[in-house]
Amino acid sequence: MATTKGNVIVGQSGGPTAVINSSLAGVYKTAKDRGAKKIYGMLHGIQGLLEERYVDLSKHITSDLDIELLKRTPSSYLGSCRYKLPEIKENTEIYDKIFGILDKLEIEYFFYIGGNDSMDTIKKLSDYAILNGSKIRFMGVPKTIDNDLAGTDHTPGFGSAAKYIGSITKEVIRDGLVYDQQSVTILEIMGRNAGWLTGAAALAKCEDCEGPDMIFLPEITFDVDEFMRKVADLHKKKKSVVVAVSEGVRVADGRYVCELTDGIDYVDAFGHRQLTGTARYLAEKISREVPGCKTRAIEFNSLQRCASHIVSRVDITEAYQVGAPP
Ligand code: F6P
């Protein structure tokens, strides 16, 4: 960002992470250091901006300590959204409205912190600005636990979530060893169609832990029968079997494994199906088909997103009500 005498606006969008507020703090501090007059925060991303919901961040971040606390506070301080902008040619009204609001606020730089869907928003706004001669600069700030943003080596948010998955997998493996009874535990891990986070379950392996017995990534077609054969085989040889499976594994016809259940059928604005129930489906199948096998499904779900190993100070949660915009 060049030096500016104008105003800046920043928003957060998509799933939260343990460090998305650190990116917010970075944008805020840089904009301030480079002379921005006002730095606004959109509440609940572009969806909130459309309803003119924003705050003057300098009224909420008033000291260096506030910046430090914000950096260390997991989850999205400004609130988030999953809001898909239409194609420009389909609906220019919505863009006229957004640019009207931005012009009223005298915005020169617009920052949006998020993953692939948020970058879609930035691209559309930037295209509209070019088409209409607007001078506003649109910048995407990468974040996602999925680690699947093109052009990035790794995304902020992935590291903390990966560390959490590695640690918790080891704890589950330890837990499985306590009873003198056989069991199979299925861990379901986020990441949608990217296997980075599920792959991080392998971090559990070290000199005092043999790691998960199998890891299933979404990039590889999932064969339910083959899975059942492998589990039954391991079950014969071991007391405790622990399997890490991505929420995004699909069978040969393209359906997600979680779609084989009668579970939740929610699709978001970007057309993403809510992926939940894979571990439960597999654990129930094992329980039915492998006699005498104790099974457990653990869906890490949103637990892994804001998991942070750097924060445990009471004053941080007092200073920033996580999930409740200022
Ligand atoms: O995009 C990040 C992510 O955490 C994915 O791994 C996951 O599939 C998705 O968000 C879940 O989103 P939501 O909490 O909106 O259901």
Looking at the fold, whether 40 and 102 belong to one and the same domain comes out as yes
The answer, yes or no, to whether any atom of ligand 1 lies below 6 A from the CB of 258, is no
Grade residue 80 by pLDDT with cuts at 50, 70 and 90.
very high
d(C-alpha 41, C-alpha 54), whole Å:
5
Quickly state the pLDDT bin for 317 (edges 50, 70, 90): very low
Same domain, 132 and 165: no
Same domain, 134 and 222: no
Mean predicted lDDT score pLDDT of the chain: 91
Q: Within this chain, do residues 50 and 28 fall inside the same structural domain, yes or no? A: yes
Domain shared by 182 and 135, yes or no: no
**Per-residue pLDDT, 304:** 82
Residue 267: pLDDT band with limits 50, 70, 90: confident
Residue 176 lies in a domain: yes
DSSP 205: -
Atom of ligand 1 nearest to the CA of 14: 1
Catalytic residue among 146, 153, 213, 225: 146
Q: What is the CATH number of the domain that holds 229?
A: 3.40.50.460
Residue 124 shares a structural domain with residue 201: no
Residues 125 and 189 occupy one common structural domain: no
Consecutive H or E run containing 113: strand 107-114
pLDDT value of position 303: 83
pLDDT band at 319 (very low <50, low <70, confident <90, very high): very low
| CA 172 to centroid of ligand 1, rounded, Å | 23
Residue 73 makes CB contacts below 8 A (sequence gap 6+) with 21, 311, 316, 317, 319, 320, 322
CA of 198 relative to ligand 1 center, distance in Å: 14
Tell me the Ramachandran region of residue 211: left when phi exceeds 0, alpha when psi lies from -120 to 50, beta otherwise.
left
Do the domain assignments include residue 325?
no
Is the pLDDT reported for residue 250 higher than 70? yes
Do 141 and 185 belong to one domain?
A: no
Ligand 1: centre distance to CA 74 (Å): 16
**Is residue 153 assigned to a domain?**
no
Question: Is residue 143 within 6 Å of ligand 1 at its C-beta?
Answer: no
167-209 pLDDT, tens digit each: 999 999 999 999 999 999 999 999 999 999 999 999 999 999 9
Distance CA 246, CA 196 (A): 9
DSSP per residue over 254-291, as a string? S-BGGGGSS----B-TTSPBP---HHHHHHHHHHHHST
Q: Which amino acid is at 24?
A: L
* Helices and strands, counts by H and E, the chain: 10, 9
What is the rounded average pLDDT of the residues 315-322?
40
Task: Write down the pLDDT at residue 308.
Answer: 65
The answer to whether residue 1 sits within a structural domain is no
> In the prediction, which pLDDT does 318 show?
40
By alpha-carbon position, which residue is closest to atom 10 of ligand 1?
15
In this structure, which residue's CA is closest to atom 12 in ligand 1?
15
CB 70 within 8 A of CB 78: no
Q: CB neighbours (10 Å) of residue 289?
A: 11
Kindly state if the Cβ of 161 falls inside 6 Å of ligand 1: no
User: What is the extent of the structural domain holding 140?
Assistant: 7-145+313-320
User: Which DSSP category does 108 fall into?
Assistant: E
- Assess if residue 2 is contained within a domain: no
Q: What is the pLDDT of residues 99-134, one digit of tens each?
A: 999 999 999 999 999 999 999 999 999 999 999 999
Q: Round to whole Å and give the CA distance between 60 and 129.
A: 30
Question: Does the pLDDT at position 264 exceed 90?
Answer: no
- pLDDT of 255 above 60: yes
Same domain for 163 and 201, yes or no, is yes
Within this chain, do residues 54 and 109 fall inside the same structural domain, yes or no?
yes
Percent of the chain at pLDDT above 90?
82
Nearest to 275 by CA among 190, 197, 204: 190
Co-location of 15 and 80 in the same domain = yes
- Is residue 216 one of the residues assigned to a domain? yes
In a domain, 283, yes or no: yes
Closest CA to 107 of 52, 151, 149, 154: 52
Six token digits for residue 229: 């054969």
86 torsion bin: left (phi>0), alpha (psi -120 to 50), beta (else): beta
Percent of the chain with pLDDT over 70: 93
Model confidence, pTM: 0.91
pLDDT number for residue 273: 84
Among 86, 89, 15, residue whose Cα is nearest residue 45: 15
Q: How far does residue 252's CA lie from ligand 1's centre (Å)?
A: 23
Question: Are both 168 and 192 inside the same structural domain?
Answer: yes
Confidence class for position 26, pLDDT limits 50, 70, 90: very high
Domain count, the chain: 2
Question: Residue 144: pLDDT band by 50, 70, 90 thresholds?
Answer: very high
Residue 204 falls within a domain, yes or no? yes
